[in-house]
Amino acid sequence: MGYTNVFGGELIFPSQLSYLSISTGVDVTLQWPTEQQITGDSVVADFLDISTSVGSLNIDMPSALVTGTGNKATVNNVGANTFTVRDSTGGTIQSVAPGEAWVLVLRDNTTAAGLWRTFQMGASVSVASASALAGAGLKAIGMLLNRKIDSDIEALTPITVVDGDRAKCLIYTGGLGQADLPAAAAVGNDWFFMLRNSGSGTLTIVPASGTIDGSADISLDPNGSTFVFTDGSNWFTIGLTVSSTIAFDFVSLPVPGSGDFVLSGANLDRIAYRFTGTLTGNRRIVVPNTIQQYWCDNQTTGAFTLRVSTFAQGAPPNVGQNEAAIFFCDGTDVINAVSEVSITLPVVIGQGGTGATTAADARTNLGVPPTSLDLIAGLGLVGGGDLTGDRTFDVGAGTGITVNADDVQLEIASTLNVDHAAVDLLAGTGIDATGLGDLTADRTINVDMLGLQDLTDPAADRIYFFDDSSSFADFLVVGTGLAITLLQLDVDMLGLEALADPGADRIYFFDNSGSAAGFLTAGDGLTITLTDLDVDMLGLEDLADPAADRIYFFDDTTSAAGFLTLGSGLEIVGTELNTTGALGTVFAGFVDSVVAAEVLPAGWSVVLDATGVYTITHSLDLDDVNDLSFIVTADEARAEYFAPTADTISIRIQRTPDVDVNADWYFIATLNAVQA
């Protein structure tokens, strides 16, 4: 039982899928769940949620030939990209945008593609489906209707054109044939189709009623084509291919007598005419007022004129006896198609003549040699003569030479050709004399170019030179700092050769990071004298070793450098300059209400006891200190100084009772000491 006539209208599947979710990044081809369980995500379910990760993907339905009409599926786009649902042949059924849901119903299953009905679900505004609107000559691509041309091959005659051929192109491939059109009233106004004759014979197009292009029928030559349409009554063509063959014919027409001779009957609209007969007076050939060409040959006799014109033409053109002319009629008058050409005699050389009226002048004008000159045989030649005829020169035979028809040969028996003992081959410049001698034997000539002839191709640009000390030739290898470019030997010193004169003493250097050469300018503390690079540090370079620790200084008043000698109370220990007399040091600090936030000089520390008294201490090396004074200033506080004990100076600072114990405060301590 086929699927085109199923009891109940729709197939009963073994296992009906009611819902399927598909997420894909590639095209998907669906299958009918008919004969067995199908795994995967490619089964046609009643409701399909589909999401595509990329745009412009296709969801292809299976063949309509293996299911019944009325089969349907709801397709819901739950993704962010538009996809297209297509039939099994690639034709568009419906383009589904994000958020749209469409019901697809199979309404015809006689082809693999099938015919589908679609309608949108859940839309506030109904949108027509392009595929549902696609009729004859239209095709749905996405959401748009596009023109298309379906074609049918017609090999048999006659071709019967029917209403279902609307917008099609019928291609005829037979021989001589006929295409029968339907009744114009039956197919109605605006019906059309296309026709092409790809056969080997003429195809006649015949309407069932009315006319086509005003005629009962028309012919379409091989390789011709046309659009055929109707207004509901008659048929018309657009772009009908017309044969380019020109029917050229000829008629010989007797026109004896005089006066007007009016062309009529079979003599009308011919191309070539030959007029004959005896004229008894001037004769006029009268042609109709239609566009036509006339090739006329006047072979009449009698001393009278023959003209060709329309009936009302005033001054018709003339055809001379024993002459031919080409005329054309523009619908009003007959006009000579060939303009008269006047020739001035004699014809000049530039127009193909000689510019002369006599043979002698013609030869002179054309540069033809006169016959009074002779061809004279030169040395070794015989023959010649004047220019009144063709002349031959022959080679004259001499002693020891034989002249044949095709060549000249030396006579071997001649003593002039065999006694060569007195003739020697001598070595010239660059030729090795070894092996040379007279011509009584074969001799070999060798080049002797100081060894150059023995060198082989070095496969690189090289300079040839001769080493005089060893007396041999060789190629020079380009050394460091040299390069050969074509025929030029250049210095290549990392850019040194490209530097210009700096106009001053400079040091050449190569900048490796920039791969470029340049000049160094002497910077601060350096000077160039002739070829010496010297240090110039305000005289520092001229000082000698002082054999003791010294401080270098520059005496500006004398513009000279020197070493400072230590005065009283100063000493140098390592790299430090220390005093050996009075010492004065000022310490300053800041104490916050929180002990951990104090800011104290290096070497100082602070302690807060339970009674709110701060004790600040600092350790000093007090060896040999014979005098010590200590001054403490504390803001909003009372300070006490304790004498040094065990090399330690202690200062006790206590806030006054009227000061907030949480307030911040600072101190300044000055220490003066004199070392013994």
Domain ranges of the chain: 19-147, 151-238, 250-336, 581-675
Instruction: For the domain covering 151-238, report its CATH number.
Output: 2.60.120
Residue pair 21/49 in contact by the 8 Å Cβ criterion: yes
Mode of pairing for the β-strands spanning 28-29 and 57-60: parallel
pLDDT, tens only, 102-137: 999 999 999 999 999 998 887 544 556 667 677 787
Neighbours of 10 (CB within 10 A): 14
- Side by side, which strands form the sheet with 625-634? 582-591, 665-675, 625-634
Alpha-carbon separation of residue 106 from 41, 62, 118, 123, 164 (angstroms) = 21, 11, 9, 22, 21
Whose CA is closest to 511, among 502, 519, 523?
519
pLDDT at position 613 is 60
Confidence (pLDDT) at 638: 52
User: Which DSSP letter does residue 595 get?
Assistant: G
CA atoms lying within 13 Å on the CB side of residue 225: 10
Report which secondary-structure segment, H or E, holds 246.
none
- Give the C-alpha separation, 195 to 184, whole Å: 17
pLDDT tens-digit map of 53-91: 998 899 999 999 988 898 889 999 999 999 999 999 999
Q: What is the pLDDT of residue 626?
A: 41
Name the stretches of the chain with pLDDT < 50.
1-9, 36, 124-125, 581-587, 593-597, 621-630, 632, 634-636, 655-657, 659, 661, 670-676
Kindly compute the dihedral angle of the four CA atoms of residues 539, 543, 548, 553, in this order, to the nearest 10 degrees.
-10
660: tokens are 């907030």
CATH class of the domain defined by 581-675: mainly beta
CB 577 within 8 A of CB 567: no
Given the structure tokens 């026109």, which residue do they identify?
Answer: 255
For residues 649 and 671, the answer to whether their CB atoms sit within 8 Å is yes
Which pLDDT score is estimated for 161? Answer: 94
Classify burial at 486, counting beta carbons within 10 Å of its beta carbon; exposed 0-12, middle 13-18, buried 19 or more: exposed
Where is 655: in which H helix or E strand? strand 648-655
Q: Which residue reads 């379906």 in tokens?
A: 150
Q: What is the DSSP letter of 10?
A: S
What does the pLDDT read at residue 117? 93
Q: How far is CA 500 from CA 482, 504, 533, 671, in A?
A: 18, 11, 21, 68
- Residue 395 near residue 380 (C-beta atoms within 8 A): yes
Which amino acid appears at position 645 of this protein?
A: T
Give the per-residue pLDDT at 416. 59
The predicted pLDDT at position 622 comes to: 46
Token reading at 620: 């000093």
Say how far apart CA 289 and CA 121 lie, in whole Å.
72
- What local confidence, expressed as pLDDT, does residue 624 receive? 42
- Please tell me whether the peptide bond between 158 and the residue prior to it is cis, using omega within 30 degrees of 0: yes
Say what the pLDDT of residue 95 is. Answer: 93
Q: Name every residue whose Cβ is closer than 8 Å to that of residue 29 and which is 6 or more positions away in sequence.
A: 42, 60, 62
Nearest to 210 by CA among 200, 218, 219: 218
pTM reported for the whole predicted model: 0.28
> How far is CA 316 from each of CA 261, 279, 311, 413, rounded to the nearest angstrom?
14, 18, 10, 91
pLDDT score at 431: 79
> Residue 322's closest CA among 295, 296, 297?
297
- The structure tokens listed for 87 are 């039939």
Question: How far is 629 from 552, CA to CA, in rounded Å?
Answer: 35
Interatomic CA distance for residues 319 and 311, integer angstroms = 17
Q: Which two tokens stand for residue 641?
A: 């100084």
| Residue 451, token pair as written in the block | 């060894």
